[in-house]
Structure 1
């Protein structure tokens, strides 16, 4: 329901605005037709092509999750440091230290479990490399976050952010290894906790398509969507990625603004940007984000498996492994960039 919607004066913006809020019958009809038509797609190269399209879209959405995670880590640390400086410093310092230690402890436990269950003395060299490389990268990022130069340019950077990035990197490492085609190096959760330990599934045998990493992936997706909704409603770093205007929607009376930028509202406030002349957000970007999110959900629900030539079993593929492990590396690079950017781009404000 749209109440008192002001349509933009600009003709091109008007058509986008009008299509976005109207023609619901045709939109639902198209959505139903697409869902019904999907069942009549003949067997052929479409499934393989769509599998790689899904991987590409899910990879992009994982990068978006990484941006949100980095924003969350910095916001969390900034909030607790401010409370530590304003109130009971010992209490908040203990909370900050406990959260950091817990994240690193969980990451260390994860590394040990990875070496125990996802590697073998002979073979599983890829898993050994993934675990070792990501562990070293996380250690390097953590050390970098407390260097004097970094602390001088960003006084509130610290180990809490690094611990959040570390534990998420360990999750991506685990998620990548659960998609490895070699079943000896990719035990199911039931085998790890003590069930079905006598036999190892053969390469062509039907594998479990719904595992713990799929459940964790969906939980992280819901948390990221919730966090994005909360953060984009306020002035945050995520807001700067999606909006061209970082001003709040409602401002108090008496705050000077340019003529024509404000309209009276019934509640005694004035509204900024009534969207008559244009909008500060992009409908196309919004729908593109939903498209990437749907591809991520598709790949998560199918556990990143691809149908084989007989369409009777679901098998893991190496591209899925590399998509996830490369996203973990990109996440660390993005975090390191947030640390060194103030040193490199000295003419920009990163507050």
Structure 2
């Protein structure tokens, strides 16, 4: 082979390699700004933070005895357990709130903040690690104050999540009621409606069996009966002649409120005689561990799905999207994760910073139960209001015009 042919072969090999690198997954997902991949990395960081908080809560007493040397800890016992969770939560909150401040109102992909959101991972990992360490040097009094503020932040997260879920359900209902889809998918929609109502009824019956086995369990009976009443109320309002929203949306919403009621009853203390499932969980360690893992993954998934759903909070008419627009609201995404940091702290400590949680438990206690129940009632009220509000505004305009 001549020198010229060898040079041509080497050049063509470099060209093929360069073309391969351009089309490879590594280039698309690891090189250059890639907001779609970045959100998964942030979710992974959030998951690792959750696991770190759990480790400090359940196993920190033996593994982190050196914390007594830190000035802000007043001895290791104040930096571990519930307060250790709050310190990790505070560091996670600082990280995502800093990202929120640095990316809010980013609209175009050519904005330098798009690169900051989607790249610079070594710098952001160092920043995250710093925020994980700094809270352990902060005095205990400030951390306790943060714990009180976290109650509010967790409530904000639940409200954002609630609006996101209801917006998705109403969007799905409106989509299925369009003339084109209504004709093609009538049977499928009917099957989904029947399935959701049957699942809701079965869930209510099981809750009566598991959480209200005796007439003395009056509080649980009240919670479950109110859930049944809310399901009927949402259905009645939805199919009213002036609303005509159909059965699909109230069916899905009914299943959602049944899930919230079940979550509330499941959060009752394991010493509660009306909670048979909690007693069963204490006798099966594998079930407790599996439930814990699922709960942690659910926290991350709920935070992730809510964070990328910024469009449901656009109260003004959205502008026409173009190719150079960012795929989702970066500021809203990081704000949801910042509130999610407060939310997971409340779940790990049972909404009570002075309570000792058992290992492999999450969101257990009467405070957790009442938070879930209030969230269920609020979800029903918000959904009914979204159905009735157009009629109220219409009547008010007619009165004003006359």
Task: Say yes or no: TM over 0.5.
Answer: yes
Q: Is the 8 A contact 1:179 1:186 kept in 2?
A: no
- What does residue 37 of structure 2 align with? none
Once residues 293 and 116 of structure 2 are traced to their aligned partners in structure 1, the CA distance between those partners, rounded to angstroms, is 36
- What does residue 46 of structure 2 align with? none
Indicate yes or no: 2:273 matched with 1:184. yes
Unaligned runs of 5+ in 2: 1-31, 35-103, 398-402
Structure 1 residues 117 and 109, CA gap change in structure 2 (3 angstroms): same
- What does residue 304 of structure 1 align with? 350
What secondary structure is seen at the aligned counterpart in 2 of 1:184? coil
What secondary structure is seen at the aligned counterpart in 2 of 1:246? coil
Once residues 193 and 335 of structure 2 are traced to their aligned partners in structure 1, the CA distance between those partners, rounded to angstroms, is 35
Aligned length: 284
- What does residue 375 of structure 2 align with? 327
Q: After TM superposition, give the deviation of residue 112 of structure 1 in Å.
A: 0.6
Once residues 329 and 293 of structure 1 are traced to their aligned partners in structure 2, the CA distance between those partners, rounded to angstroms, is 21
Q: Is the 8 A contact 1:304 1:316 kept in 2?
A: yes
Which residue, out of 26, 30, 33, partners 2:130? 33
Q: After TM superposition, give the deviation of residue 176 of structure 1 in Å.
A: 1.0
Once residues 355 and 340 of structure 2 are traced to their aligned partners in structure 1, the CA distance between those partners, rounded to angstroms, is 28
- What does residue 149 of structure 1 align with? 242
- What does residue 345 of structure 1 align with? 393
Q: TM-score, normalised by structure 1?
A: 0.65
Q: Which has the higher helix share?
A: 2
Indicate yes or no: 2:124 matched with 1:77. no
- What does residue 320 of structure 2 align with? 248
- What does residue 59 of structure 1 align with? 155
- The structure with higher relative contact order (CA 8 Å, sep 6+) is 1
Unaligned runs of 5+ in 1: 4-11, 152-156, 198-205, 251-268, 275-279
Q: Is the 8 A contact 1:59 1:324 kept in 2?
A: no
What secondary structure is seen at the aligned counterpart in 1 of 2:193? helix
Q: CA RMSD in A?
A: 4.1
Q: Is the 8 A contact 2:235 2:250 kept in 1?
A: yes
Matches within 5 A, 1:211-222: 212=291, 215=294, 218-219=297-298, 222=301
Which residue, out of 229, 238, 246, partners 1:136? 229
Q: Is the 8 A contact 1:188 1:211 kept in 2?
A: no
Which residue, out of 263, 279, 300, partners 1:175? 263
Once residues 124 and 308 of structure 1 are traced to their aligned partners in structure 2, the CA distance between those partners, rounded to angstroms, is 27
Q: After TM superposition, give the deviation of residue 81 of structure 1 in Å.
A: 2.3
Structure 1 residues 47 and 186, CA gap change in structure 2 (3 angstroms): farther
Q: After TM superposition, give the deviation of residue 76 of structure 1 in Å.
A: 1.4
What secondary structure is seen at the aligned counterpart in 1 of 2:283? coil
Once residues 185 and 105 of structure 2 are traced to their aligned partners in structure 1, the CA distance between those partners, rounded to angstroms, is 48
- What does residue 317 of structure 1 align with? 365
Indicate yes or no: 2:247 matched with 1:159. yes
Q: TM-score, normalised by structure 2?
A: 0.58
Once residues 356 and 174 of structure 2 are traced to their aligned partners in structure 1, the CA distance between those partners, rounded to angstroms, is 54
Once residues 292 and 159 of structure 2 are traced to their aligned partners in structure 1, the CA distance between those partners, rounded to angstroms, is 18
